[in-house]
Structure 1
Amino acid sequence: MDVNDLRIIATVISFVTFLGILWWAYARRNQSAFEQAANIPFEQD
């Protein structure tokens, strides 16, 4: 195993992690929590 193999593995792991974050961010079960968080600056005390 040389340096190029490690670079390929790191790239693939990074891409899979990125796809996982995208899946989590756009999951419907998180939509209401994200909408509530987005409206926090507009709420008045």
Structure 2
Amino acid sequence: MDINDLRSMFTVLTFVLFVGIVWWAYSGQRKQAFDEAANLPLDDDSVPGGTGAGSTDK
């Protein structure tokens, strides 16, 4: 076994890992969690008094 065999095995392993991550990301079981995460920036969490974390008052 030489370095080229190790490189080939590493390439195949990373390809299998990539395919597994793509399969996991596009599976129907994760759709609801990803939809909720996609809507997080649109949620209104601001405090009406302007004293929240994003306030510019000093």
- Please give the range of the TM-score, normalised by the shorter of the 2 chains: over 0.9
Q: Hey, which of these two has a bigger chunk of helix by percent?
A: 1
Instruction: List gaps (5 residues or longer) in structure 1.
Output: none
Structure having greater relative contact order (Cα 8 Å, sep ≥ 6): 1
Question: What is the number of equivalent residue pairs in this alignment?
Answer: 45
Q: Which of the pair has more CA radius of gyration?
A: 2
Instruction: List gaps (5 residues or longer) in structure 2.
Output: 46-58
* Cα drift, residue 9 of structure 1: 0.2
Question: Percent identity among equivalent residues?
Answer: 53
> 2: CA distance between counterparts of 1:3 and 1:33?
42
Question: What is the TM-score with the length of structure 1 in the denominator?
Answer: 0.98
In the TM superposition, what are the counterparts of 1:1-45 in structure 2 within 5 Å?
A: 1-45=1-45
CA RMSD of aligned residues (A): 0.4
Per-residue Cα deviation, 1:6-42 (whole angstroms, up to 9, x for no partner): 0000000000000000000000000000000000000
Amino acid of the structure 1 residue aligned with 2:8: I
Question: What is the TM-score with the length of structure 2 in the denominator?
Answer: 0.76
**Which of structure 1's runs of 4+ aligned residues deviate more than 6 A?**
none
